[in-house]
Amino acid sequence: MSDYKLLIGGKLVDGDQRLDVINPATEEVFATVARASERQADEAIEAAATAFPGWAETPIAERQAKVAALADAIAANADRLARTLTQEQGKPLAEAMGEVAWTEGYLRHYATLTIEERTIQDDANGLVQIRRKPLGVVAGIVAWNFPLLVACWKIGPATIAGNTIVLKPAPTTPVTTLILGELCQAIFPAGVVNIIVDANDLGGYLTADPRIAKVGFTGSTATGKKIMASAADSLKRLTLELGGNDPGIVLDDVDVRATAQSIFNAAFLNCGQVCLAIKRAYVHDSIYDAMCDELARLAEAAVVDDGLAQGAQIGPIQNKAQYEKVKGFLDRARADGNVIAGGEVMDRSGYFLRPTIVRDVTDGDQIVDEEQFGPILPVIRFSDVDDVVQRANASPYGLGASVWSSDVDRALQVAGRIESGSVWVNQHIAIGPHIPMAGVKASGLGVEQSLEGLAEYTQLSVINVARGG
């Protein structure tokens, strides 16, 4: 028996296996959860397939009410969810409370969305309507950086649109998702939401199953490619939210102190483990030294600690594999540039690395070209705007980007030339449930959030009626 159970066909069940979950701040097991076998993954898909026709027929107002009820349940359980999130993911409690509040807010917004039928022709020659129907069973596959929020980015739109879902968290962060399962069990009809846990061994099983109509995925580009290949056989619909290497381009006319603070926040939120974090800061030559110094000052001042400790601003890296990967980036960055803040692993248990600023690096260096997904920010010098646009666009990724200037018109001109799904001016990671979120190139496929994102959980269908002669 484990403390946290799977949700399959409306029942909370033990797993055929169990999985230990490690607190990254202590490196100790803090929970043991149910882990599904292939047989249980199969049961979950079958339960979702069985529930689908009834849920698809359920009036949208009732589906919206269920999603709103989930938002209420999350609000009512905010403290438990946030503390658990900090223990399994590592983020400071204040950030965990923020993730819980965001999750509630996204669900509340999804609960207001409807899928309208549109008439595009209604005249003597004919009537043409566009309808949108649910797809069937969705597989929601989630990464470990925002387990609760991203799970609900799948559950909300999938169920509002009339689909049923089998959701799978990342193996290192299953606990809050299983608590979410407890909440869903009390709200949704049996089989509409199913939650299974794996040890990185059931994702391929889900994405290959012909009963799955769509995969909504957040994670690495490498896994996104595997999912695309696996989904090809049954031509599944896909939404892939993958990696990024967001540039922040700082023009010569900014207020250095204020901009440094904003860039620091956007680079080190969640210990840098954000798909849309600033991962490369391009700073104009005339303010380069001042900006590096200010970023270094902020990094030195940051309080790095167990997320449950009072005053912690940055927690540990989420898991050992990522910790080792980021340390490898640090070794290379030390050789390629100058580490002016941080750069030390901390003398304590836990996957802690102080926020690190590296200057005098450039394109072609690993820390600039590749996604570090951790607390290291490279600061790169530029002197020519055309050149920096070209360097920003040279990345295979294209998730987010930002341009910083006291002259918004000037910033907008640069912003329009950046190849990425989102480009912000004087801010970064400004997202919301009403704002489409998309990635170009290797950063993904399709759109999440907003009516555009909801449409991706539907199949377009045209009704075309003859009239007249």
Is 466 within 8 Å of 460 (Cβ atoms)?
no
Secondary structure (3-state) at 30: strand
**Exposure string for 257-269, b = 16+ CB within 10 A, e = fewer:** eebbebbbebbbb
Number of residues forming the site for ligand NAD (CB under 6 A): 25
Here the tokens at position 263 are 């860039």
Question: CA-CA distance, 114 to 119, in Å (whole number)?
Answer: 16
Q: Is 241 a catalytic residue?
A: yes
The closest alpha carbon to 288, from 309, 316, 259, belongs to 259
371 binds ligand NAD per the rule CB under 6 A: yes
CA 161, CA 164: separation in Å to the nearest integer?
A: 9
| Interior/surface letters 241-255, b for 16+ CB within 10 angstroms, e for the rest | bbbbbbbbbbbeebe
Q: Which is nearer to ligand NAD, 227 or 341 (CB)?
A: 227
Please, are residues 282 and 388 in contact by the beta-carbon 8 Å criterion? Answer: yes
Which position among 158, 170, 213, 231 is part of the footprint of ligand NAD (CB under 6 A)? 170
Query: Which run of H or of E encompasses 239?
Result: strand 237-241
Identify the residue among 15, 140, 191, 203 touching ligand NAD (CB under 6 A).
Answer: 203
Q: What is the DSSP letter of 468?
A: -
Shortest reach from residue 143's CB to ligand NAD, in Å: 3
Q: Is 141 in the site for ligand NAD (CB under 6 A)?
A: yes
Nearest-angstrom CA–CA distance, 392 and 423: 12
Point out the catalytic residue in the list 241, 371, 448, 456: 241
> With respect to ligand NAD, which residue has the nearer C-beta, 246 or 365?
246
Part of the chain binding ligand NAD (CB under 6 A), chosen from 3-11, 52-60, 85-93, 135-143: 135-143
Among 46, 241, 365, 456, binds ligand NAD (CB under 6 A): 241
**Subset of residues 285 to 324 that bind ligand NAD, contact rule: CB under 6 A:** 322
Asked if 219 interacts with ligand NAD (CB under 6 A), we say yes
Give dist(CA 349, CA 372) in Å, integer: 22
> Binder to ligand NAD among 200, 286, 383, 390 (CB under 6 A)?
200
Q: Is 88 in the site for ligand NAD (CB under 6 A)?
A: no
Stretch that binds ligand NAD, among 20-28, 103-111, 215-223, 388-396 (CB under 6 A): 215-223
Q: Is 243 in the site for ligand NAD (CB under 6 A)?
A: yes
Strand partners, 76: none
Please tell me whether residue 207 binds ligand NAD under the rule CB under 6 A. Answer: yes
Q: How many CB atoms lie within 10 A of CB 237?
A: 19
CA angle 157, 160, 165 (to 5 degrees): 65
Smallest distance from ligand NAD to CB 412, Å: 27
Stretch in the footprint of ligand NAD (CB under 6 A) among 167-175, 264-272, 343-351, 428-436: 167-175
226 binds ligand NAD (CB under 6 A): yes
Q: Give contact residues for ligand NAD (rule: CB under 6 A).
A: 141-145, 168, 170-171, 200, 203-204, 207, 218-220, 223, 226-227, 241-243, 275, 322, 371, 373
Q: Which residues are marked as active site?
A: 241, 275
